[in-house]
Amino acid sequence: MSRMATRQWMITHEWMVKPMHQREWIERRGIMIWIAETFTSLGAGLYLVSLFVGSWWGLLAGWVIIVFIKLPIHIAYFGKPWRFYQTMPPWSNAWKTSWFARGILFSVFFSMLGFVQLVFGQPDFVNLVGANICNPIYYTFGVLAGLNALGVGIYGGFIMNYVKGIPFWNQGLLPVLIMLAGVADGFGLIMAVGLAGGDASVIWAETGSRYLLLINVLLITTYMISAGYSSETAKLSIKELVAGPSAFMFWGGLILLGLIVPAGISIFGLIEGGEAATPLLITAIAAHTIGAFALKYCILRAGIYRPLLPKISAF
Amino acid sequence: MRWGMVINLAKCTRCHACIAACRIEHFLPLGMTWPRLIAWETDIPGEELSTIPVRCNQCKEAPCVEVCPAEATKKREDGIVYVDNDKCVGCRYCIIACPYQNRTFFSKDKDPGYFPGSERTRFEKAGHKLYEHQAGTTEKCDFCLERIDAGMAKGLVPGKDREATPACVNTCQARALTFGDLDDPNSEVSKLIKDKNGFQLHPEYGTEPSVYYIDYKLGNAPSNVAPREEQTASHLQHLSTMEARAKQIFGKK
């Protein structure tokens, strides 16, 4: 038997015999899910932070990221992208049980409500129509779009959290981790809006970023420890991240660039008595964004299924 | 009524006939597999290799049904979970959510033809007309629901009458597969599960699979011990011819 034929024979037999990685959402076309999920966090986080600080340019950037980057990439991943509409009412009522369907609905509602909010918040439009007409609409749609942005930012966590076969994902903290990481990314990007001359305060963004980074360090540590207690397979996932094939992305991308570098620059700025120098801020923003990609990569890559067989169900 | 299957591991001869039967019944493309026969290594001296046939468990609380955003995966009243390929959007969340990993995404590269580079065979051409597999959608075992429906329409009983029984069950020469109604306490499957302490894969997930296993090793139940005389001759013959070869290929850790 040739080597190739032996290998093919073995692949069939080895299926789910040992802890097995999920591949659909990280390998080959699955890379699109990684990218889409990252932009989901970036866009939703930026929108929420912009709502909080009242930055129209931030809102616009967050909305553009969700509508023109996240959604198209996500839909392009589908095997039948043109059937996209079939995931929504009246064609499907799956939103009652499926977080995927809910996520699509959140995204669509966010796109529409956010658009209205952006139009009624646009300074030239407000001058033209009048603040007394625009402001109520702007704030009403702001609340509605904000709620949907929250849904967009958190649904990915619930999607993964639901998967019982992957103990590393099946943790209650995952949606919170993903949501707060998204908000931290939002603080990173709002700094970029401020630096680009937008209507956002860089010092305020730096302060927010500092707190969120601290919270995220605690969350990631708690998540890893609690997941490690849940099962042997989850321990394997952690080993994969800490000392396995994904260690470079975990330590280099998530911990160093995503957490240490932005936190270091932020603390440096604090010591200097204001905001850090522009090149340092640009470095922090870039590191933040790379960290966002690294976090999603690590979560998706560490998705390992428990084996099928009772004999080794210790996993 | 809830259709279910009992797989007697003590009788399974690892002949792969169930997989071949499914492939023929549904004209499965080369890269597509609905049931699988998986193998694993044990630390029991002399029994370093063991196998187990797996297929969609047709779960009572199926995660794939709950997560499907297009309601393309549905559960019938008789418990069979199937995919409506005309509705499936190909998001693959069902594949991710299935804790048993018994679903496959069908992409064009999974259908290179049985003889890549050559013209498709008459069997393949017929298959494309009779049982179209839609690229970009997800597929899985559906207990041969067409056979069940057609058979029942004729007044036949699935599990008893071959015409109304899944192809893999019909073809199993060792009679390791038994099909029937789990809700009927007098059905053969219910009796086997009760008498032989049938077990499901990962019942702790709460999915309530409709596929049960009975075995004298895995079940850890004394009543499951299969006396040697109950094992089929082909089983013993198969083990004697395959064990050495399998050890050679898989090796020992």
Among candidates A98, A104, A164 on the partner chain, residue whose Cβ is nearest the Cβ of B205: A164
Q: Is residue A18 part of a domain?
A: no
Across the strands, what pairs with B83? B73
| Closest Cα in chain A, distance from residue B147 (Å) | 26
CATH number at residue B57: 3.30.70.20
CB B166 within 8 A of CB B159: no
Domain enclosing residue A154, as ranges: 23-312
CATH number at residue A55: 1.20.1630.10
Q: For residue range B181-193, list pLDDT tens digits in order.
A: 999 999 999 999 9
Q: Find residues 183-202 of chain A whose CB sits inside 8 Å of chain B.
A: none
| Residues of B whose CB is below 8 A from A303 | 96
Tell whether the model's pLDDT for residue A179 goes beyond 60. Answer: yes
Residue of A nearest to B108 (CA): A79
Confidence at residue B180, expressed as pLDDT on a 0 to 100 scale = 96
Confidence at residue B97, expressed as pLDDT on a 0 to 100 scale = 96
Q: Are A79 and B99 an interchain contact pair (Cβ–Cβ within 8 Å)?
A: no
Confidence at residue A2, expressed as pLDDT on a 0 to 100 scale = 41
Q: For residue range B138-181, list pLDDT tens digits in order.
A: 999 999 999 999 999 999 999 999 999 999 999 998 889 999 99
Tell whether the model's pLDDT for residue B252 goes beyond 60. Answer: no
CB B84 within 8 A of CB B93: no
Confidence at residue A129, expressed as pLDDT on a 0 to 100 scale = 86
| Residues of A whose CB is below 8 A from B65 | 97
Mean pLDDT, residues B78-101 taken together: 95
Q: Are A308 and B100 an interchain contact pair (Cβ–Cβ within 8 Å)?
A: yes
| Residues of A whose CB is below 8 A from B71 | 92-94
Tell whether the model's pLDDT for residue A131 goes beyond 60. Answer: yes
| Closest Cα in chain B, distance from residue A290 (Å) | 26
| Closest Cα in chain B, distance from residue A71 (Å) | 13
- Looking at beta carbons, which pairs linking A263-270 to residues 24 or more positions away fall under 8 Å? A263/A210, A263/A213, A263/A214, A263/A217, A266/A206, A266/A209, A266/A210, A266/A213, A267/A210, A269/A206, A270/A206, A270/A210
**A·B CB contacts under 8 A:** 147
Domain enclosing residue B64, as ranges: 3-250
Q: How many residues does chain B have?
A: 253
Tell whether the model's pLDDT for residue A109 goes beyond 90. Answer: yes
Give, for B247, the enclosing helix (H) or strand (E). Answer: helix B233-250
* Candidate from A45-54, A83-92, B6-15, B240-249 with smallest mean pLDDT: B240-249
What is the ipTM for the molecules in this complex? 0.88
Q: Are B88 and A83 an interchain contact pair (Cβ–Cβ within 8 Å)?
A: yes
| Residues of A whose CB is below 8 A from B99 | 163-165, 305-306
Mean pLDDT, residues A74-100 taken together: 93
Q: Is residue A3 part of a domain?
A: no
Residue with tokens 């801020």: A281
CB B79 within 8 A of CB B61: no
Contact of A272 with chain B, judged by CB distance below 8 Å, is answered with: no
CB A12 within 8 A of CB B19: no
Confidence at residue B247, expressed as pLDDT on a 0 to 100 scale = 60
Tell whether the model's pLDDT for residue B223 goes beyond 80. Answer: no
First CA to last CA distance, chain B: 45
pLDDT bucket at A315, cuts 50 / 70 / 90: very low
Confidence at residue A280, expressed as pLDDT on a 0 to 100 scale = 86
- How many independent structural domains does chain A possess? 1
pLDDT bucket at B49, cuts 50 / 70 / 90: low
Q: Is residue A10 part of a domain?
A: no
Q: Are B93 and A159 an interchain contact pair (Cβ–Cβ within 8 Å)?
A: yes
Confidence at residue A281, expressed as pLDDT on a 0 to 100 scale = 84
Residue B54 CA to residue B211 CA, distance in Å, equals: 9
Tell whether the model's pLDDT for residue B39 goes beyond 80. Answer: no
Tell whether the model's pLDDT for residue A122 goes beyond 50. Answer: yes
| Closest Cα in chain A, distance from residue B27 (Å) | 18
Mean pLDDT, residues A146-166 taken together: 95
- How many independent structural domains does chain B possess? 1
Whole-Å CA distances, A3 to A8, A9, B251: 9, 10, 15
Q: Are B98 and A93 an interchain contact pair (Cβ–Cβ within 8 Å)?
A: no
Mean pLDDT, residues B32-51 taken together: 71
Q: Are A162 and B39 an interchain contact pair (Cβ–Cβ within 8 Å)?
A: no
Tell whether the model's pLDDT for residue A60 goes beyond 70. Answer: yes
Q: Is residue A2 part of a domain?
A: no
| Residues of B whose CB is below 8 A from A80 | 88-90, 134, 136-137
Residue of B nearest to A101 (CA): B69
Average model confidence (pLDDT) for chain B? 83
* Candidate from A75-89, A198-212, A252-266 with smallest mean pLDDT: A198-212
Spatial CA neighbour of A212 closest among A175, A179, A238: A179
Among candidates B96, B105, B138 on the partner chain, residue whose Cβ is nearest the Cβ of A22: B96
Tell whether the model's pLDDT for residue B17 goes beyond 80. Answer: yes
Confidence at residue A73, expressed as pLDDT on a 0 to 100 scale = 95
Residue of A nearest to B40 (CA): A17
Confidence at residue A314, expressed as pLDDT on a 0 to 100 scale = 44
Confidence at residue A74, expressed as pLDDT on a 0 to 100 scale = 94
Confidence at residue A307, expressed as pLDDT on a 0 to 100 scale = 86
Confidence at residue B45, expressed as pLDDT on a 0 to 100 scale = 61
